[in-house]
Amino acid sequence: MELKEYFQSYKNYFWEWTTDEDVPDESGYNENNLISIPNVGVIEYRTYILEILTVLQEKGLPLFSPLLLVLYATNRSYVDLISIEYVLRNHPSSAVKYIKDFIDSSIQFLEKLSHLPPNYKVGSNRVLLIQTLFNDDFNKISSRTSKVIISEYEKNPSAIGICAEKIDVSIAKFSKDLRVLAALNSKFPTTDSLILAMKGIVDIMELEDEVVEEETTVETDKDFIQELIEEPKTFQVGSLIKRIWSGLKIPMRHLSPGEQPIGGISDMTNKGDFSRMLLSEFAHEDEVFMNRVANNEALYIQREIPPEENIFERIILIDTSLKNWGTPKVLAFASAIAVIKHPKAHSECKVFGLGNDIFPISLNRVEEVIENQNHVSPVLEVSGALEKFFGEEHTEKDLEVFFITHQENLNHQKLQKIIHENRDRLKFLVTTSANGELNFYKHHKGTRKHIQKIMLPLQELWANPPKKTHKNQNLPARSLKATDVPLNYPILFPIPVNKIATFLYEGDFFILSAKKQLLKTYLSDNYYNREYYDQYRIHRGCEVLIENISVKPRGQFALAKNKQQHFILCQYQPDKKLISKLNLNTKEYSEANVSINISVNDYKLIYFNKKFYLWNENVERIEEINIDGQIRLESVRNDLEITKNNLKVQAELDRLYDSTNKLLSNFNFIGINGAKDLIISKYALEPDYNEALILTKNKSKVEIFATKNKNKFTFSEGSEIITDSRGMMTFNSSNKNIPAFYIPTSIQRYLAIGTKTEFSGSEYFLPQENLLKMKTTEQMYEEYLKLFIDQILDYGIDN
């Protein structure tokens, strides 16, 4: 498939390329920058759609038309699915009656999407939703072809113009597009099933946190000002902003005359230039003519029209030198935020600090204000950085520059010189002082004009600061991404419930997990003592060998190693008659089509004696597949030894089955209850009567909560618990005498406590080869978990 075919629009179809002339496209090609549904509404702008496709290309692009319907159904504004249904049912093709069921199912699915809670349909959550929907889509385009399509667009965006020329749509195309949505309707019968599918990819509580951070409305800005006031470290800045708003006279939007010639009598006015005066006016006597001009009675062509809004970009430069420290720095940041967050401000605004150099500043979150307000540059004045800024090329249209500095800094000759030389580009100059005085100056036609002075009653405004609390006082700023976790831990992971495939290779057991990881697992050392094993069924957990494996969870799999000891994953997709081979270490990939005379479903992909086989015990010849190099298939005689080996392997893999493993992977909250037990979500971590740790339902009130930041939970005195959705917790106490330790999160199973040197608990979590010192669970509980909890109770703050 090529770019033209992928983005092609069709006659009488439910979507079309259109142009919004008021919105320029960053690619430089401004035509066909919008996709809409005729007579219904807008779907999305081309720029946003391409951002979505760029994310999806790694795993393959979905068909374009179903994606557009999904985007429309997940719009936060009004969604008119009734009109969509009418458009689909009344397509002029006579064959549309044959796909009536597909239309019914598609509309049902779109209704489910539209009824999802709002937080699932915005920002990165919306992207995650789309990834979840099309992750296993049979009709999606291969990753390689997808990247070619996106690359062609990036090289030549104007190629969309050809796609916008509509052609006739075939019923096959129409049917295929709707069949995708119909399949999704069957796969996700309810909105809850959609949410659960998203939970399988990322913790849903993290999604909600992310949405809150992405909302940027005026109401949010008001809340943001209140957050600044309530935080002791930003109280002084926050308490000044609304007072500055009340007196600020800087225009929040610029107006410029528009051009709207109308013509005829309605185009005449009594104001204008002499060049536009009607010729009939010059026929009057001189005295009459001058009288009419003086009294605004003369007539002119082209009446005055209302001015139009001029979109511009603001850049605010804040002096961070030593002289602008203390109260002047507080006034500088309050002034900058007052301009940025003003309720009537709609222009884009960037903020930079000036010191030894120029550095960007973000002031959208309380933590960012704290961090940037504490930045001080070890220079007395910033003329060098200011000169560098104006020496750079700024190509923005209608750029408006603010410079905020201390009043005394204007006495510096070099700084005066830089400001004077760039007075045509420096629109506003704002000066601060230690007594609360703000002065605003404007450069206009080469001269500096004093606009206003605002005297802030600092003593009054700062009279009632919020009471300081020790809770979370020493915590780092909230992170935008999850805390990194290691590939493996000193103890084993629980085996995941969801698996794509299991393997036995050279006596070792391997698992391809639903998280696209290759895991190695073990059975007990007593495995070959049949009587003991059948009675106790002792399994071991697993370790991660390779992660981020690019594979579709469909068909059959086999695993082997090549001569370089790289893992080779072979995949057989019977419905496509496709064999593929992936080197998990080098990512080298090859594939080949399979041609077999009888039903392809009768064949099984297996490994035997350094070869892969498409094997069927009822045929004389089977397909042999090489391990090394590019994939090749060769027809060979069926060997009885292959059959015997396959039966043995299957019997071994059957022993690997473990039905008791339930994993806690969604960590909603962590705390400590009245019984001094650690609480993870609704479970308490406590010793049972066998002196082994278990996760059991909590029955006591939680009294102390940790603060959640993605996958890190931090208590008020500084102790941390880092969670891993694969089934592990890392404990880092603020008491440095307590080493880091690890506890798995299996439910309905005895657990373990492990460090880099010691271990106690269930043998299930003990690595096969280790140098760990064995201790009892009672010893490890007292030395690690109990001390961890006591540290929090002794030095933490109750919630």
Cα separation, 101 vs 277, whole angstroms: 69
The mean pLDDT of 595-600, rounded to a whole number, is 60
- What is the C-alpha separation between 668 and 290, in angstroms, rounded? 82
For residue 581, what are the β-bridge partners? 570, 590
pLDDT value at position 559?
96
Pairing of strands 313-319, 399-406: parallel
Give me the pLDDT at residue 204, please: 39
For residue 477, the model assigns a pLDDT of 44
* Mean per-residue pLDDT, 591-596: 83
5-19, 369-383, 778-792, range with greatest mean pLDDT: 778-792
Q: Which of 437, 467, 568, 463 is nearest to 510 (CA)?
A: 568
* Integer Cα distance of 261 and 259 in angstroms: 6
Residue with tokens 């960007």: 360
**What whole-number distance in Å separates Cα of residue 3 and Cα of residue 779?**
65
Task: Give the C-alpha separation, 35 to 50, whole Å.
Answer: 12
What average pLDDT score do residues 245-264 get?
58
pLDDT for residue 498:
85
Cα Rg for the chain, rounded, in angstroms? 35
pLDDT of residue 745 exceeding 90, the answer is yes
Between CA 156 and CA 679 the distance in angstroms is 56
- Residue 475 corresponds to which tokens in the numbers above? 């915590």
Q: Which is higher by pLDDT, 608 or 41?
A: 608
Give me the residue label for tokens 């994939």.
631
268 has pLDDT over 50: yes
Quote the pLDDT of residue 732.
94
pLDDT tens-digit map of 542-561: 999 999 999 988 899 999 99
Could you tell me the end-to-end alpha-carbon distance of the chain, in angstroms, rounded to an integer? 59
64-96 residue pLDDT tens:
888 988 888 887 665 777 777 777 777 776 556
Using the predicted structure, report yes or no on whether residue 688 has a pLDDT greater than 90: no
pLDDT tens profile 399-408: 788 899 988 8
Buried b (16+ CB within 10 A) or exposed e, 721-758: bbbbbbbbbbbbbbbeebeebbbbbbbebbbbbbbeeb
Percent of the chain at pLDDT above 90? 20
Q: With CA atoms as reference, report the closest residue to 337 among 402, 408, 255.
A: 402
Structure tokens, 14: 């439910």
Q: How far apart are CA 303 and CA 264, in angstroms?
A: 11
For the segment 386-409, the average pLDDT, to the nearest whole number, is 81
pLDDT value for 476: 44
Query: Is 540 within 8 Å of 524 (Cβ atoms)?
Result: yes
Percent of the chain past pLDDT 70, that is, above it, reads 84
- Residues 27-56 have a mean pLDDT of 83
Alpha-carbon distance of 154 to 522, in angstroms, equals 49
CA distance 99 to 292: 75
Q: Tokens standing for 124?
A: 């990165």
pLDDT of residue 357: 82
How much is the pLDDT for 572? Answer: 93
Which residue type is seen at 217?
T
Q: What are 245's strand-pairing partners?
A: none
Distances (CA, A) of 364 to 207, 320, 372, 524: 19, 19, 11, 55
* 208: Cβ contacts below 8 Å, ≥ 6 apart: 119
Answer whether residue 130 shows pLDDT above 60.
Answer: yes
476-521 confidence digits (pLDDT tens) = 444 457 889 999 999 999 998 889 999 999 889 999 998 899 999 9
Helix (H) or strand (E) run with residue 103 in it: helix 100-114
Residue ranges of alpha helices (H) inside 203-326 are 204-214, 218-230, 235-247, 286-294
Average pLDDT over residues 205-227: 46
Task: Give me the chain's average pLDDT, please.
Answer: 81
Q: Range with the lowest mean pLDDT among 362-376, 455-469, 745-759?
A: 455-469
Q: What is the pLDDT of residue 526?
A: 54
pLDDT of residue 224: 81
Taking the CB of residue 286, how many other CB atoms lie within 10 A of it? 7
Map 166-181 to HEC letters: CECCCHHHHHHHHHHH
Q: Which fold has domain 218-253+311-461?
A: Rossmann fold (3.40.50)
DSSP string, 146-214: HHHHHHHHHH-GGGHHHHTS-BPPPHHHHHHHHHHHHHHHHH--SHHHHHHHHHTTS-HHHHHHHHHHH
Q: What is the pLDDT of residue 472?
A: 43
With a cut of 80, say whether residue 208 has pLDDT above it: no
Q: What is the mean pLDDT of residues 565-584?
A: 92
**Residue 391 scores a pLDDT above 60:** yes
Name the pLDDT band for 209 (thresholds 50, 70, 90). very low
Tell me the domain boundaries of the chain. 3-214, 218-253+311-461, 259-305, 499-655, 662-795
Closest listed residue to residue 399, CA positions, set 316, 335, 319, 480: 316
| DSSP H/E element including 587 | none
Output the CA–CA distances (angstroms, integers) from residue 604 to 503, 607, 625, 643, in the order listed. 14, 10, 13, 11
Q: How confident is the model at residue 105 (pLDDT cuts 50, 70, 90)?
A: confident
**pLDDT number for residue 216:** 31
pLDDT of 217 > 70? The answer is no
d(CA 676, CA 298): 91
Residue with the larger pLDDT of the pair 570 and 282 = 570
